[in-house]
A and B are shown apart, each in its own frame.
Chain A
Amino acid sequence: MIELGQLEAHWQEFEKRNVHVVVVSVEDLEAAKATQADFPHLIVVSDAERSLSGAIDVMHPHSAPDGSDTSAPTTFLIDGDGTVRWTFRPDRVFNRLSPEQVLAALDKEMPAH
């Protein structure tokens, strides 16, 4: 969850670009509420039914500490029409995009018109 704190810390940079930051996990609604309270400038989504994670194939089997499935850390840039403009998945679980890298990708791949 470290990346959520980093994104939250840069919320003004995203707001300046008029971009919403949506963070999704397969946890239930209660966990999503707790996450939302921790990171008020992010838009937290609960995908407990795995409808979204399954539809776009981001599940990572047996990767949670208890051996259950969870989503692989993956980032998408989605434009105002709902079209995907850019995807990123790190090569290792430990790696994450930094907020600066996300902002750079936004400016390059999905600049404001």
Chain B
Amino acid sequence: MSTSAPNVSTTSPSIDRSRGRVIFWAGIGACLLGLVLVVIQFGLKLVFVPWYSPILATVGAVFLLLSAASRRSVARVAALVLVTAFAGLQWYFLVFMMKLPEYNGPAQPGKRLPPFQAMFANGRSFTEADLADGSRRVMTFFRGRW
């Protein structure tokens, strides 16, 4: 009489649950690291495009994908969806929303500025005639005090 061995998994439940856990937290950490670095960057008043943030979020999404592939759970899939959406939002924001049009206005090298009338902070009028007083100037347009 022959007996067939029962099909029993040799993996314990705790080992099964921990599968991919390190890479899961690495994914979350990569995403959060991008945010922390952005806060530090602007806290240090460094003005450049924080490309590293969407890159880190994308790396985080890949880690979370690997984690979810190794063991699927609601938490892992939810984290994957959220971080992927966050990475996509950042890419969209930096690539499209923050893009400035190239300057093609009339103030090109070799030309004078068209007539205008603005005001110095002391209330005195500022016109194109003030620019021809012999002083060299850097004129910078900024977005505002906010």
- Contact surface of A with B, Cβ cutoff 8 Å: 1-7, 14, 17-27, 29, 31-36, 43-49, 51-53, 55-58, 60, 63-65, 70-96, 102, 106, 110, 112
B contact patch SS: loop
Q: What is the bound-complex CA distance between A18 and B142, given in angstroms?
A: 22
Any chain A CB within 8 A of the CB of B121?
yes
Q: Among the listed A14, A26, A81, A102, which residue makes an inter-chain contact with B144, where contact means beta carbons less than 8 Å apart?
A: A26
Q: How large is the interface on B (under 10, 10 to 19, 20 to 34, 35 or more residues)?
A: 35 or more
Q: Answer yes or no: B11 CB below 8 A from chain A CBs.
A: no
Bound CA–CA A103/B111 (angstroms): 21
Residues of B within 8 A of A73 (CB): 100, 140-143
Tell me if B16 is interfacial: C-beta within 8 Å of chain A.
no
**Residues on B with beta carbons closer than 8 Å to the beta carbon of A24:** 118, 139-142
Residues in A neighbouring B100, C-beta threshold 8 A: 60, 72-73, 89-93
Report the minimum CB–CB distance from A96 to chain B (whole Å).
4
* Segment touching A, from B19-27, B54-62, B74-82, B101-109: B101-109
Q: In the bound complex, how far is the Cα of B129 from the Cα of A101, in angstroms?
A: 28
How many CB-defined contacts (below 8 Å) exist between A and B? 218
**Known contacts A82-B113, A86-B109; A23/B101 CB under 8 A:** no
Give the residues in chain B near A82, CB-CB below 8 Å.
Answer: 112-113, 128, 131-132
Cβ-neighbour of B109 out of A1, A3, A43, A87 (below 8 A): A87
Q: How far is A51 from B113 in the complex, measured between Cα atoms in Å?
A: 12
Our pick among A49, A74, A92 for the contact of B49 (Cβ within 8 Å) is A92
Chain B residues in 8 Å Cβ range of A19: 135-138
- Please judge, given known A-B contacts A80-B133, A102-B138, whether A25 and B109 are in contact too, CB under 8 Å: no
Which residues from B are CB-within-8-Å of A112?
A: 136
Q: Which residues does chain B contribute within 8 Å of A58, judged by CB atoms? A: 103, 105, 141
Asked if B123 and A78 sit within 8 Å, CB to CB, the answer is no
Whether A20 contacts B137 by the Cβ 8 Å rule is yes
User: Nearest A residue to B111 by beta-carbon distance?
Assistant: A84
